[in-house]
A and B are shown apart, each in its own frame.
Chain A
Amino acid sequence: MKALFMCLVLIAFACTAPLVSKTSDTISELVKAHQAGDLKLFLGKFGTPKSIKATKNDGTFVYSYPHFETLVNPTKNEIITTSTFFWKSDDDYAYLKKLFGQYEWIEKPLPSPSHEISEVYSVEIPEIGVSFEYDRYAPKITWIFISKPVTK
């Protein structure tokens, strides 16, 4: 009986635990990686990229991973910027608010034709270096860009 009770408690605990999803983990880990800015730490976390491409700028490369690409400078042991394809839920905006709502969000409306049913906003979260756009009527984010955070 005790074992059954413990089992139910543990299952209840597991069921109420935050859902672990690959994309939300990746976003959070990418944000942390950019806060550190360290390429070795980045590679330790994400492993070898599936492809590496030199850019036109000397010394920088684009490391490609499933769902994101990161601009790095191996000579300086530096990660610079990341773009990640984000396609998570029926309300990606709300999803990101839950992850990063504790930081300041700077939202600006972007022009859209008056006849269209859309309200597009650009969002910047300077403290974690995140930026994206979303449509209030169809809040799928699609791309999130991450760079070095702005320290206050």
Chain B
Amino acid sequence: MKCLLTSIPLIMLLIPGFALACLENQIYVREHQVAPYVRVDQTPVSGYRRNGYCRDLDIENYFQDNSSQKIKGSSLKLKKWSEAEKKIVQSHIDKLPKWLGRYRFGEVLRAETDGTRNPAATVPYTKTIIFFDPFFKSKNQRDILIHEVSHIAVWDLDVSAAEEFAAVSGWSTNENQTKRFPPTNPIKADSVKSVTEDFANHIEIYYSNEGILRKHNPKAHEFIRKLVLQKENP
């Protein structure tokens, strides 16, 4: 009995750590200071440091006309959604591939432009997607949405899968192990920015033109194919 009691904490410590990635319907709230406040029953509560945690997204795919987030980008001017625009975006959300459709967004925002012809952008940390004017003139709106949701979905990869993707896509380090290098033949030019941008491009092209991906990089194609199969059939 003594042995069992003392071994329980040891056994628990050996259990793989809790998943530190939030679920699809959650966003991660960073560690922050909670100011002192008074409860409804008038009990005063001292200020305290709250650890980071995953918060459930109560409202799904939340269309917002403005945001309390301080989002960088001097040319980012948020504007009101029209009902027609909301319907367009919602129709694409409803038709996302099953596994991508499981992701919930913290905020879905509308802005004029980011200063370029960029149709959309994502803040993965808060699961926020921003749609710009060019999105509504685009003929490949579905591909754009798949790309943006992939920026959120990539965070669900475990370390082995993320590393395997980086390797098959062509990311590498130098011999001296002091620098990392992007693929020399990226699937899209902006793939070189980051592994997450590269991943989003791969998922987009997998769904829009799988043949291109298969021809460009058979190993990356196989990785994505297996990943999608696994995600679609959890």
Contact B22 A83 (CB under 8 A): no
CB-defined contacts of A89 to chain B, threshold 8 Å: 20-21
Interface residues on A, range: 35 or more
A82→B176 CA distance, assembly (Å): 8
Task: Evaluate contact between B74 and A114: CB separation under 8 angstroms.
Answer: yes
B13 touches A14 (CB 8 A): yes
Q: Pick the contact of A91: B28, B115, B166 (CB < 8 A).
A: B28
- Taking CB atoms and an 8 Å cut-off, the chain B residues in 162-196 that contact chain A are 162-163, 166, 173, 175-180, 194-196
Give the tally of cross-chain contacts (CB within 8 A). Answer: 141
Contact assessment for B73 and A15 in the assembled complex, using a CB-CB cutoff below 8 Å: no
Quote the shortest CB–CB distance from A49 to chain B (angstroms): 13
Distance between A66 CB and nearest chain B CB, rounded to angstroms: 8
Interface residue tally for chain B (C-beta within 8 Å): 55
Q: Are B20 and A95 in contact (CB under 8 A)?
A: yes
The answer to whether A91 and B30 touch across the interface, beta carbons within 8 angstroms, is yes
A143 touches B173 (CB 8 A): yes
- Which A129-152 residues sit within 8 Å CB-CB of chain B? 135, 137-140, 142-143, 145, 147
Q: How far is the CB of B62 from chain A (nearest CB, A)?
A: 18
Contact of A116 among B6, B114, B180 (CB under 8 A): B114
B48 within 8 A of A: no
B166 with A85: CB separation less than 8 A: yes
The reply to whether A138 and B124 contact each other, CB–CB distance below 8 Å, is: yes
> What does the 1/0 interface line of A61-92 toward B look like (CB < 8 Å)?
01000110111000000001111011111110
**Is A142 a contact of B124 with CB atoms below 8 Å?**
no
- On whether A20 and B17 interact (CB within 8 A), knowing A11-B8, A56-B175, A115-B115, the answer reads yes
Q: Which residues from A are CB-within-8-Å of B158?
A: 87
Q: Looking across the interface, which residue of chain A has its beta carbon closest to that of B115? A: A115
Contact A55 B175 (CB under 8 A): yes
B99 contacts chain A at the CB level, 8 A cutoff: no
Q: How far is the CB of B18 from chain A (nearest CB, A)?
A: 6
Interface contacts beyond A83-B180, A117-B73: sample of 19 additional A-B pairs, CB < 8 Å, sorted by A:
A10-B5, A17-B12, A19-B18, A19-B20, A62-B177, A67-B159, A83-B177, A86-B159, A90-B28, A90-B155, A91-B125, A115-B114, A116-B114, A116-B121, A119-B72, A135-B194, A137-B125, A138-B124, A138-B194
Top 6 nearest A-B pairs by Cβ distance?
A: A14-B9, A89-B20, A90-B28, A14-B12, A21-B17, A115-B115
What is the interface of chain A, defined by CB distance below 8 A to chain B?
Answer: 3, 6-7, 10-11, 13-15, 17, 19-23, 55-57, 62, 66-67, 69-71, 80-83, 85-91, 94-95, 114-119, 135, 137-140, 142-143, 145, 147
